[in-house]
Amino acid sequence: MILICYDGSADSKAAVEHAGELFSGQPATVLTVWQPFVEALAHMPSGFGMAPGEIDYEAIDTATRQSAEKQAAEGAKLAREAGLDAQPKIREQQTTTADAILAEADVLNASAILMGSRGLTGLKSLFLGSVSHVVLQHADRTVLVVPSPDIATARKRQRHK
Amino acid sequence: MFKRVMWATDGSEASDKTLEHLKEFVAQLDGELLVIYSEEFTLPGKGGGSLPRHADEDVVQDKIKRQVAELSQSGIPTRLEITTSKVGSAAHEIAEVAERERTDVIVVGTRGHTLLRGLLLGSVTQRLLQIAPCPVLAVPTRLDKKD
C-alpha cells in the first residue's frame, strides 16, 4: 500500500502521476490532511480578530472536513486514472501536517510515502518544503519526493545560470 | 514500462544497504540503471596538488564497480559513471547528469538514525532533494535496525 499526500497543488498532482508510473497497479491511499480551526487559531497569537464566543468551531470544521474529502476524492480519481488502485482518505492534523502523514503511514504500514517537493519557482525553488523535509527526516520508510513540472524547470534554469 | 533509474551512491555503508531494494525497484519497473558516484576533491580538477576527499578512494571505487557488476548479473542493464566535483558540489554533479540522461527517478539511501536523530539525510542527499530535476526516491537504511 503506498501513501500519496495530496493537497491539490501542482506538485502533489505530479506526485500522483509519478506514483502511477513507478508503482503501477498497486493499492494506494490518497491522503488529504485537514486542520481543526482551533489548531489554526493556536498558531496565530493575535487570533483572527474574532471574540472566542463568536466562532462556530463545529461549523468551520465540518466545512473544512468536507473540503478535504472533496480534495482527497479528486486525488484518488487522478490516481485511478494513473493506473493505481486508489482510495481517498482524510486525516485530522493534531500537531503538524508532517506528523499526520507519518502517523497515517504507520497505520497503513505503507511501503512508500509519495509527496510533492513543494518548492516555489525562482530562487525559492531550491528549497524543500517544510512538510517534505520533516517527513524525510523522520520516515522509517521509502519516501518519493516529486517536483512539479514548473519546479523542475525552474531548478534546471537555476543550475544553468 | 521502460524507466531510466539513477542510483546515486556515496560509497558508504548506508548506500550499500539500498542495493536490495534498488534491485527490486528497477526490476519491477523493467528499467535501466545508471549508478553514479561523485569523487570529491579538495581543489578543482585532478591536476596539480589536489587530494581525493576519502583516503580510501580506491577501495570505495572498487566496491562500487563490484556492485555494478552484481546489478548487471541480476539482469538489470547497468552503467557506471564516476564524476569529479569540488567538495560539497556532488549533488550539483548528480543533478546535471540526471538532466542530461533524462533520468526518471534518482534513488538515494538515507543515513538512518543511530544516536543522531535529525541527521537522517546526508548532506548530498539533502542538497539533491532541493535541486533534482526529477523525482527522488529516498530509501531508509537503518544501520542499527531495532524493531
Residue A6, min C-alpha distance to chain B (Å): 16
pLDDT tens-digit map of A66-118:
999 999 999 999 999 999 999 999 999 988 899 999 999 999 999 999 999 87
Residue A118, min C-alpha distance to chain B (Å): 10
The rounded distance, in Å, linking the Cα atoms of B10 and B136 is 15
Helix, strand, coil % over all residues of chain B, rounded to 5:
35, 25, 40
Q: A4, A145, A151: which to substitute to probe chain B, counting the most B Cβ within 10 Å?
A: A145
Nearest by CB to residue B134, choosing from A126, A132, A152, is A152
Contact B104 A21 (CB under 8 A): yes
Query: Across-strand partners of B37?
Result: B9, B82
Contact B137 A137 (CB under 8 A): no
Q: How many CA atoms lie within 13 A of A1 on its CB side?
A: 14
Residues in A touching B120 (Cβ below 8 Å) = 136-138
Question: Which residue reads 551512491 in cell numbers?
Answer: B9
The rounded distance, in Å, linking the Cα atoms of A92 and A88 is 14
C-alpha cell of A1? 500500500
Collapse the DSSP code of A112 into the 3-class scheme (helix H, G, I; strand E, B; otherwise coil) and give the result. Answer: strand
Contact A119 B130 (CB under 8 A): yes
Q: What was the pLDDT predicted at A53? A: 73
Q: Which residues contact residue B35 at a Cβ distance below 8 angstroms, ignoring those fewer than 6 apart?
A: B6, B7, B9, B64, B67, B68, B71, B78, B79, B80, B81
Q: What was the pLDDT predicted at A119? A: 47
Q: For residue A7, give the nearest of A55, A61, A82, A67 by alpha carbon.
A: A67
DSSP collapsed to 3 states, A119-153: CCCHHHHHCCCHHHHHHHHHCCCEEEEECCHHHHH
The count of other CB atoms within 10 Å of the CB of residue A67 is: 14
Q: What domains appear along chain A, each with residue ranges and CATH number?
A: 2-159 (3.40.50.620)
Residue A12, min C-alpha distance to chain B (Å): 12
Q: What was the pLDDT predicted at A147? A: 86
Q: What was the pLDDT predicted at B115? A: 44
Collapse the DSSP code of A65 into the 3-class scheme (helix H, G, I; strand E, B; otherwise coil) and give the result. Answer: helix
pLDDT higher for B122 or A147? A147
Q: Which residues contact residue B21 at a Cβ distance below 8 angstroms, ignoring those fewer than 6 apart?
A: A142, B139
Residue A153, min C-alpha distance to chain B (Å): 7
Q: Tell me which range, A41-45, A152-156, B28-32, B76-80, is most confidently predicted by mean pLDDT.
A: B76-80
Lowest mean pLDDT among A34-48, A121-135, B39-53: B39-53
Contact B110 A21 (CB under 8 A): no
Q: What was the pLDDT predicted at A123? A: 45
For residue A134, the chain B residue with the least C-alpha distance is B118
Nearest by CB to residue A145, choosing from B29, B129, B133, is B129
Q: What is the pLDDT along chain B (147 residues), one digit of tens a residue?
A: 569 999 998 888 878 888 988 998 998 888 899 999 887 655 545 555 556 666 788 888 999 999 999 999 999 999 999 987 776 788 888 999 999 999 999 999 886 554 444 445 677 788 888 889 999 999 987 655 443
The rounded distance, in Å, linking the Cα atoms of B49 and B98 is 30
Write down the H helix ranges in B3-75: 13-16, 19-29, 57-73
pLDDT higher for B71 or A151? B71
Contact A155 B133 (CB under 8 A): yes
- CB-CB contact of A141 with A110 (8 Å): yes
- CB-CB contact of B50 with B42 (8 Å): yes
**ipTM score of complex:** 0.86
Q: What was the pLDDT predicted at B31? A: 87
Burial class (CB in 10 A: 0-12, 13-18, 19+), B118: exposed
Residue B58, min C-alpha distance to chain A (Å): 30
Max CA separation in chain B (angstroms) = 50
- CB-CB contact of B140 with B14 (8 Å): no
Q: What domains appear along chain B, each with residue ranges and CATH number?
A: 4-114+125-140 (3.40.50.620)
Residues in B touching A127 (Cβ below 8 Å) = 130
pLDDT band at A136 (very low <50, low <70, confident <90, very high): confident
Interface of B with A (CB under 8 A): 1, 3, 21, 29, 92, 95-96, 99, 104-105, 110, 118, 120-121, 126, 129-140, 142
Max CA separation in chain A (angstroms) = 55
